Amino acid sequence: MSHGCLTWPCFILLILLNGIAMASHLTIIAGLGNPEDRYAQTLHNAGFWFVDELARQAGTQFRYEKRFDAELCKIELAGADVWLMKPQSYMNLSGGPVRSMLDYYRLTANELLVAHDEIDLQPGTVRLKQGGGHGGHNGLRDVMQHCGKDFMRLRLGVGHPGHKDQVTNYVLKRASGDVEAAILQNINEAADVMLLLADDGLNAAMKKLHTNSNQES
């Protein structure tokens, strides 16, 4: 029996190959934040904190790469090289360096994970997802403008100040000790599933991370 000019075995193989091509493969983890020491401990730099922790665990250090305007280092996950990236163009212009990395290595947005602070999640909550909107986050907005919206996101909850007019001042200040401790705990939990993400894919990593007994609904 045939389907058009394809036999059924060939047709099924084509579907499987298309599915593989659309699957997310982790090649770059970009943490979002602002350069300069004065921003280092602010909530808006939670994405930087995350990739810093991955680099620390791997025993490697970031170096500045002018062609991408980013600090980079390379780690190994599930037997494959994964780039860690910290754009140095300031949060609101994060998309240019990320796009330049994708273009240089001929990668797609499906191979990108962006780690960022998330005011719509409480401290102590971390979520993985793929696609979606920017939710008012200017760093995400710029990455989407340059790369589309199909990349994976690691959303590190930092809490909300209570009013939208207070958001900018809130994320550009250092958190209280309790909030910072909750975010660092989330970073450790997320770091623990990166190997699973690289090896078994997004769904497996989401299931493990989101069912952690310490996560809020």
What residues form DSSP beta bridges with 77?
A: 80
Does residue 44 carry a catalytic annotation? yes
Is 128 in contact with 210 (CB distance < 8 Å)? yes
Do you know the residue count of the chain? 217
Q: From the candidates 3, 25, 44, 137, give the one annotated as an active-site residue.
A: 44
Residue 103: both structure tokens together: 């273009």
Beta bridge partners of 76: 81
Q: Across-strand partners of 91?
A: none
- Of 39, 70, 74, which is closest to residue 54 (Cα–Cα)? 74
User: Which residues face 154 on adjacent strands?
Assistant: 115, 128
Cα separation, 208 vs 66, whole angstroms: 37
Rounded (10°) angle between helices 95-104 and 138-147: 30
Residue 166: DSSP 8-state: G
Give the position of tokens 């212009």. Answer: 93
Catalytic positions are 44
